[in-house]
Amino acid sequence: MTPEETQELQKCLEKVSAILLKNTPSEQLKDFGSIELAVRDHFLKEVAPEIGKIFKQQQPNRSRQS
């Protein structure tokens, strides 16, 4: 990853983090353990599926060979 891409990624992650934080109940922000679980939950439900879709779309069509 280039330094420019790293910087762009950081900006995007800050924006995503702000959105997820806004949508996290305050009781899940009281200690490190509950914050970690909230982040993991958001990642598994919202972030990972979208990243997976993008990666899958970029996969070249592979034909089955016998």
CB 51 within 8 A of CB 43: no
pLDDT tier at 66 (50, 70, 90 boundaries)?
very low
List, for residues 38-50, the tens digit of each pLDDT value: 999 999 999 999 9
Summarize pLDDT for 2-25 with one digit per residue, the tens.
999 999 999 999 999 999 999 999
Q: Render pLDDT for 50-60 as a digit per residue (tens, 0 to 9).
A: 999 999 998 77
**What are all long-range contacts of 54-62, with beta carbons under 8 Å and residues at least 24 apart?**
none
> CB of 34 within 8 A of CB of 28?
yes
Quote the pLDDT of residue 58.
86
Q: How many Å apart are CA 16 and CA 10, to the nearest integer?
A: 10
* pTM for this prediction: 0.75
- Phi, psi dihedral angles at 56 (to 5 degrees): -65, -40
- Identify residue 58 by its one-letter amino acid code: Q
